[in-house]
Amino acid sequence: MRVFTVQLPAVMRQLQGQGIVYSVFQKAIPQQRHWHDFKRPYQFIYQNYAQQKHYTFGWNQGLFWAFDRFDYFSGGYYRVMAANRASRYLLTLDIPDEICLAFSSDAWNSCLNHGNLLQRHAQKPEGYDWSLMFATNAAQIMAADYRLFYPEDAAESDEALVGAVREVVFPYIREKWVQKAKHFRGKRSLF
């Protein structure tokens, strides 16, 4: 699977020196200051990865996060993901499918906002339908559900309503998977 991710220079150094780098849990969570707000959704992803991939995480092992489409980074958007002037690498990786867990990016954002994925489940307990995010047709199901509640948007495409970008998680990166590494410095804004 071809994926795109932004990583620290330390990841590149370790790849070049050892050929493999494992994600470290506390560095894998970008919202460390607000961890209590995001703990449940992140635990859900980790538990599903362990269950679906039959993987046992080490004591402090995390997951790398990537996107399956480059257009998420188009127009230089990746530069505002890093702090102003911070050194980062945009990596293009070809990772074996068997270690990747992909899920709907919009569904993931709903989880981070403590919501359910379908409008009809709005009154259900948080997390009621989160497992839907792993379905390959999650965007179509979510868009159809959205149209039931907002018929004025019925003509919009599934991608316009929900998005088709999928996020991908994996526990390690091997040097041989790196197809391209582009060094860049963060910017405050694109303008």
3 pLDDT band (50/70/90 cuts)?
very high
Q: How many domains does the chain have?
A: 1
- Sorting pLDDT into bands at 50, 70 and 90, what band is 123? confident
Distance of CA 63 to the CA centre of its chain: 10
Domain membership flag for residue 191: no
Question: With the CA atoms of 129, 62, 7 and 99 taken in that order, what torsion angle do they form, in degrees rounded to the nearest 10?
Answer: -70
Q: What is the pLDDT of residues 178-188, one digit of tens each?
A: 999 999 887 76
* Distances 68 to 8, 12, 72, 109, 114 between C-alpha atoms, Å: 19, 20, 9, 16, 24
Domain range enclosing 144: 2-185
The answer to whether residue 72 is domain-embedded is yes
The predicted structure's pLDDT at residue 31 = 47
- Residue 133, in any domain of the structure: yes
- Across the beta sheet with 87-94, the strand order is 101-104, 166-170, 64-67, 2-7, 87-94, 178-185
* Stated pTM of the model: 0.84
9 lies in a domain? yes
Structural domain includes residue 110: yes
**Does a structural domain hold residue 190?**
no
Let me know if residue 73 belongs to a domain: yes
At residue 111 the predicted structure's pLDDT band, cuts being 50, 70 and 90, is confident
Round to whole Å and give the CA distance between 7 and 15.
11
HSE of 119 in the Cβ direction (CA atoms, 13 Å)? 13
Model pLDDT, residue 96? 96
Asked if residue 78 is part of any domain, the answer here is yes
Residue 61's nearest CA partner among 30, 117, 21 is 21
Distances (CA, A) of 130 to 47, 112, 166, 174: 12, 11, 15, 30
Q: Provide the pLDDT confidence category of residue 190 given band limits of 50, 70 and 90.
A: low
